[in-house]
């Protein structure tokens, strides 16, 4: 485990983040921006899949919000790995961080199921989500805010 943590610490740019409060600030801000994009896109999409705001066309909103959430996820994951690498040994001992990772894995799994089972595609095509897609949207509505809360909890542990 120590070898793996040391490998994270040697990722490109990690020394810069350790030595520069300004660099760390910008990467942290990018991480928060990614999180905002995820939550800001997924929650309205989940609500629409659940049948709220039926006047909002799912064929238009669905693909746009899904892609926006994907960009936010990529941004948050990349910057998150970079931030983790600055102090990996402390993070792996932080209960909130471990909870965040577990919740994040579940949330990403729910997205994979939503797209893999075809419910999202069917919802976009018909304008109405099938039961499985609605169930996964409800799960997502719980998981993503939970990931956010666990992430905030890290600083208090």
Tell whether the model's pLDDT for residue 11 goes beyond 90.
no
Cβ–Cβ < 8 Å for 40, 70: no
CA distance 92 to 90: 6
Mean pLDDT over 32-59 rounds to 96
Q: Whole-prediction pTM value? A: 0.90
pLDDT value of position 121: 96
Alpha-carbon torsion 81, 85, 88, 90, what sign?
negative
16-39 pLDDT tens trace: 888 898 999 999 999 999 999 999
CB burial of 15-29 (b: ≥16 within 10 Å; e: otherwise) equals: eebeeeeeebeebbe
* Token couple for 19: 């030595």
pLDDT value of position 155: 87
């Amino acid at each position: 485990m120590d070898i793996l943590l040391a490998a994270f610490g040697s990722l490109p740019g990690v020394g810069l983040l350790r030595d520069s409060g300004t660099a760390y600030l910008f990467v942290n801000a990018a991480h928060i921006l990614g999180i905002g994009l995820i939550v800001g896109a997924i929650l309205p999409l989940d609500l629409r899949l659940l049948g709220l705001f039926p006047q909002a066309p799912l064929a238009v909103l669905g693909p746009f919000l899904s892609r926006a959430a994907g960009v936010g996820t990529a941004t948050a994951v990349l910057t998150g790995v970079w931030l983790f690498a600055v102090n990996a040994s402390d993070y792996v001992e932080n209960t909130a961080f471990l909870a965040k990772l577990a919740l994040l894995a579940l949330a990403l799994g729910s997205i994979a199921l939503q797209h893999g089972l075809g419910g999202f595609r069917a919802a976009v095509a018909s304008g109405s989500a099938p039961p499985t897609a609605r169930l996964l949207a409800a799960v997502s509505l719980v998981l993503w805010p939970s990931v956010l809360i666990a992430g905030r909890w890290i600083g208090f542990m």
